[in-house]
Amino acid sequence: METPTLLVNNPTSRLPLLITGVSGVAGWNALPHFLRLWPGRVIGIRPTTTWQLVADGVVALDTGDRAGLQTLFEKHRFGAVLNCTGNCALKPCELDPAMARRTNVDAAVNIATLARRHGTRLVHLSSDLVFSGSGAGGYVETDSVDPVTVYGRTMAQGEQAVREIDPEAAILRISLPMGPSFNRHAGAIDWIQSRFRNGRPATLYFDEVRSCTYADDLNRVFERFLANHQAGVFHCGGPRAITLYQIAQIVNRVGGYDPELLKGCPRVDAGPMPPRAGNVSMNSGKLIAVLGGEPFQPWPVGEDLLPTDREWHFARPIDELGGARLLAERLYRYPASSATVGL
């Protein structure tokens, strides 16, 4: 049974909890985790335009609506906020920088301002794409940000705004959160799977490298930071650096999809829109030191799921049966016997 760390450490001051951006993968997976821990004490908000998202504890409210947020804060007197708001769609952000700023900067300003005003613990999510990936990866928190996309630039601006408004906030830079999405085509796994499932090709890059994490592991990290008083920037990257092409290989083979649907190329052949980052893998040593252990299993768990070459996904052992169930059991989560170390 999960131990509700937040209640143990702060029995009165950190509840109720507000989770913003529950239409994104991180927020969508965090919401049921915290609702299981504290039924009736968790509220999630989603954009008013995302009318399809109907779930327990979810209300429609735009994070750009400061007056509406103020009313929500006054009504519930939140003890903590997990801010998962952000638009990570690279091309739409490039085509509409004003929209990207509203979602990734202005919303962060609103949340941080209200959290500071109400004495609310704030955990704000950012991204590894605040970096360009022009080097060998392994970024640490003191490395200068140098994003190549509008998305990355606005996320970096959002970080800066949060630091200035609420110096006591924790800013967690995450990579690709590996878990299901509410609409079955957002996030890394579901977007790739939606292409293959519908018989459509997907082109991924040999030289864009990320530090993926299981959403379940991220939830436990969020829980710890909502409970503690750590402030500043922390990298939340998994221990295994992996390319986008390898991710697609894994989804293709584990899901049992046609291997011919996967195409690969270097970033330079992808075209100018949107720009692509390189090796933005992160070093999470600071996080590990604070938590007292490695909080993340490598994604995917199991060396049998790690591609060995660019044709790996074509190999289908006779006793290997791929499908949606196996994909969910191995790529959205991992066996309980592979319990996370540090938490």
Is domain 5-183+212-238+281-297 given the CATH code 3.40.50.720 in the classification?
Answer: yes
Q: How confident is the model at residue 338 (pLDDT cuts 50, 70, 90)?
A: low
Residue 33 CA to residue 331 CA, distance in Å, equals 18
What are the residue boundaries of the structural domains of the chain, listed by start? 5-183+212-238+281-297
Return the residue matching tokens 């600071």: 286
pLDDT, position 46: 92
Q: Report pLDDT for 276.
A: 92
Q: Which residues contact 115 (CB under 8 A, 6 or more apart)?
A: 81, 121, 122, 166, 169
Tokens describing residue 280: 């933005």
Pairing of strands 209-210, 242-243: antiparallel
What are the Cα distances from residue 37, in Å, to 15, 335, 339, 340?
11, 21, 19, 18
Taking CA atoms, 253 is separated from 36, 316, 319, 326, in Å, by: 32, 8, 13, 10
* H or E stretch covering 177: strand 177-178
Q: Looking at residue 7, what is its pLDDT?
A: 46
Cβ neighbors of 40 (< 8 A, separation 6 or more) are none
CB 25 within 8 A of CB 177: yes
| pLDDT score of 152 more than 70 | yes
Mean pLDDT of the region 39-68? 90
Angstrom distance (rounded) from CA 313 to CA 177 = 22
pLDDT value at residue 55:
83
- CA distances from residue 65 to 47, 48, 61, 268, 303 in whole angstroms, order as listed: 10, 11, 7, 40, 46
Summarize pLDDT for 214-269 with one digit per residue, the tens: 999 999 999 999 999 999 999 999 999 999 999 999 999 999 999 999 999 999 88
Q: Which carries the bigger pLDDT value, residue 88 or residue 20? A: 20
Determine the pLDDT at residue 339.
54
How far is residue 196's CA from residue 213's CA, in Å, rounded to a whole number? 22
Residues 170, 302: Cα–Cα separation, whole Å: 31
DSSP code per residue over 276-328: ---B--B--HHHHHHHTS---PPSSSSGGGS--STTGGG---TT---SHHHHI
Q: Is the pLDDT of residue 273 over 70?
A: yes
**DSSP-derived 3-state class of residue 340:** coil
Residue 45's closest CA among 66, 26, 69, 25? 69
Q: Find the mean pLDDT for residues 277-298.
A: 96
Q: Which structure tokens are listed for 31? A: 């919401």
Structure token digits, residue 68: 């509406």
Selection from 14, 24, 64 nearest residue 44 by Cα:
24
For residues 117 and 126, what is the distance between their CA atoms, to the nearest angstrom?
A: 22
Task: With 0.85 as the threshold, say if the pTM is over it.
Answer: yes
